[in-house]
Amino acid sequence: TDTRVLALVGSLRADSHNRKIVEAIQAQAPAGVTVEIAEGLHEIPFYNEELDGENVPAAAAALREQVAKADRLLIVTPEYNGSTPAVIANAIDWASRPYGAGSIKGKPTAVVGTSVGQFGGAWALANTKKSAGIAGAAVLEDVDVAHAYAWGSDPAAEADVVAKFVAAVEKLAVYEGIA
């Protein structure tokens, strides 16, 4: 069976460069790999311990289930004010609980993305890797695809850009976590 990769996109806008990158990855997914986008992240309430436990909001429960079922997690995100967008931070928080038994625990995870800044959102990627790791994910530390100037600024270069991201997904698909 295919390796199922669940993609969390850090931008909610329809025209998101990061979403377009996931769509390009989907179109060129390595053999044996399927990439699904986790929709509805915007419907998940901000994490609140009072909402957790018996009456987890439906959107949060759905995310937890999707993460649990996925073989791999791919976080594709821009940088917001030098860090991780709140939508991704919130998704990680929900997936990190119950403490020590969250659906993200042990999940092989790669963090990539594009931002318009010249460093391509490198701070956001570093912070997201740190957070996902503390949440319990098995993060691919050496995958570093922070594409600068976002998507579409140089159509001629897009094939190369997509190849960088697809190569990261190939690494993710074979990564089994901590040796």
Q: Which residues bind ligand FNR (CB under 6 A)?
A: 11, 13, 16-18, 78-82, 115-117, 121, 150
Q: How far is the CB of 112 from ligand FNR (least distance, A)?
A: 12
Q: Give the C-alpha separation, 173 to 103, whole Å.
A: 18
**Residue number, nearest CB to ligand FNR:** 117
21 or 29, CB closer to ligand FNR? 21
Residue 14 Cβ vs ligand FNR, minimum distance, rounded to whole Å: 9
- Separation of alpha carbons 86 and 68, rounded Å: 21
Shortest reach from residue 98's CB to ligand FNR, in Å: 31
Instruction: Tell me whether residue 40 or residue 152 sits nearer to ligand FNR (CB atom).
Output: 152
In the three-class reduction of DSSP (H, G, I as helix; E, B as strand; rest coil), residue 32 is classed as coil
Residues near 82 by Cβ (< 8 Å), separated by ≥ 6?
A: 123, 124
